[in-house]
Copies of this chain bind each other. A is one copy, B any other.
Amino acid sequence: MSIQMPPAHPFDDDKLKEECGIFGVLGVTDAANFVALGLHALQHRGQEAGGIVCHHPERGFNSARRFGYVRDNFTKQSLMETLPGPLAIGHVRYSTAGAKGPAQIRDVQPFFGEFSMGGAAIAHNGNITNAVALRKELIERGSIFQSGSDSECIIHLMARSLQRTIPERMEDALRRVEGAFSIVAMTRTKMIGVRDPLGVRPLVLGQIADGWVLSSETCALDIIGAKFVREIEPGEMVVVSDKGVESHFPFRRQLPRFCIFEHVYFSRPDSIIGGRSVYENRRQIGVELAKESPVDADLVCPVPDSGTPAAIGFSQQSGIPYAMGIIRNQYMGRTFIEPTEQIRNMGVRLKLNVNRALIQGKRVILVDDSVVRGTTSRKIKEMILDAGAAEVHFRIASPPTAWPCFYGVDTPQREKLLAATMSEDEMRDHLQVDSLRFISLDGLYRAVGEAQGRNAKCPQYCDACFSGEYPVAPSDMIENGFQLKAAE
């Protein structure tokens, strides 16, 4: 069934979209209630659908998968009563890699498999870059896939493993898998957390009373009142049971390459990554941007809501007053009918409105987090000029996004990325603004705490979307004709 989902952010169609959030709890009464809360706090990582699997000693495995927001589904007592037990994991998703056609409930995670030693469920954030090849191989051997999701490969690899325990089978399976993966999985008695060797996607461990929590971000620990314990390390697998947490390192050691875009946009500003506040990192990006690309103006306005911390930082560094020049309609949801040409052309007004009396006659600096296709930047510029602004200057809190992500983020094809085909100056002319500046890659690294900037030989983060340097070869895509950046 095709479902039109409400966009999460005002210009969702012109943003990169994180594909998943994962969360699990072991050792509390009615764990699924906690998982629902955790997924609600992670909703920004995936708005299309959500699922929970749980286990109860007498009532066995139960699951529910639904399209739509966590708050609209996993708040109904009638549903939650069907999800009993002290162990549960959950998943919110945007959409799966390679899905064609309308969304299908069978693609919604967690995936469940029954093995000879018992059942297991698995929830995955990331993307498997050799999934097409793996799937072909598995089908040839007689596996039947339930979904179009790349993540399902993992559970079939586990089903065919010759190992005796589920954690061992998972290790077996993950050694065949390439790409980015943070995983929360469960058996009848254990919860398992894994991060890929590069640690591209986040995963943290928390504690609540006598129970344990795994979560994509710390903000979801806060919502249930859990204490942050530590991040799961790149390449680490933790097996959590009522006896505590065991740690394994099943993969060949590699230097970590955490996704730098989590700092720019994906993660919630109240989360803490690598010991640093995401909000503070974003504010610092604004500070760096003001240092790198100052401009004389009257007001610094964020593009709501994601540009706000960087705009505050830019204002503080530049001394130019911060102001809410654009007001967001907080009741925005699904697309409106737009029956006449007249209405069709206003699109963006449904979501945003210019604070006309404030803007009139002013030189305005607009701070946004990124430019993807550039379509909405252009519309915002027009709204601001219509309202009588004297000048419009864009300052972007990330470098030009010139390459698609293959590690769990939904990006347009390369040709659709504005920065793939234009220089900064060409983009400025294209958007018809008075100035346009992106933060430099080094500036971004400095803002997130790398005082020396980017180490070009051995970058501290995955920044493939900016640099085109892919830390894991996207083998399915290469097979499919994708051209890597030419060696320099």
Contact = CB atoms under 8 A, between A and B. Distances in A.
Interface of A: 2, 8, 29-30, 33-34, 36-37, 40-41, 43-44, 47, 69-72, 75-77, 80, 82, 102, 105-106, 113-116, 136, 139-146, 155-156, 159-161, 209, 219, 222-225, 268-270, 272, 276-277, 279-280, 283, 305, 308-309, 312, 316, 321-324, 327, 329-337, 339-340, 342-343, 346, 349-350, 353-358
A328 B146 CA distance: 37
Nearest to A37: B336
Given A40-B336, A269-B355, A305-B330, 4 more contacts: A139-B159, A146-B146, A219-B353, A268-B353
A76 B335 CA distance: 10
Q: How many identical chains are in the complex?
A: 4
A116 B146 CA distance: 15
Nearest to A338: B33
- Looking at A70, A77, A357, the one whose CB has the most chain B CB atoms below 10 A away is A357
A177 to B, nearest CB: 16
Given A309-B324, A329-B40, A355 B143 contact: no
Contact of A71 (B76, B155, B331): B331
A283 B358 CA distance: 11
A106 B114 CA distance: 15
Contacts of A332: 71
A350 B37 contact: yes
Contacts of A72: 333-334
A332 B340 CA distance: 33
A331 B44 contact: yes
A466 to B, nearest CB: 25
A30 B340 contact: yes
A366 to B, nearest CB: 16
A116 B140 contact: yes
- Looking at A44, A71, A270, A334, the one whose CB has the most chain B CB atoms below 10 A away is A270
For the complex of A and B, the 3 pairs showing the least CB-CB separation, nearest first, are A277-B357, A142-B160, A43-B331
11 contacts: A47-B331, A71-B332, A72-B333, A80-B337, A116-B140, A142-B159, A225-B342, A279-B355, A280-B357, A308-B324, A316-B321
A29 B340 contact: yes
A399 to B, nearest CB: 24
Nearest to A6: B71
Contacts of A316: 321
Contacts of A140: 116
Nearest to A218: B356
Given A139-B116, A144-B143, A279-B324, A331 B40 contact: yes
A364 to B, nearest CB: 14
A355 B270 contact: yes
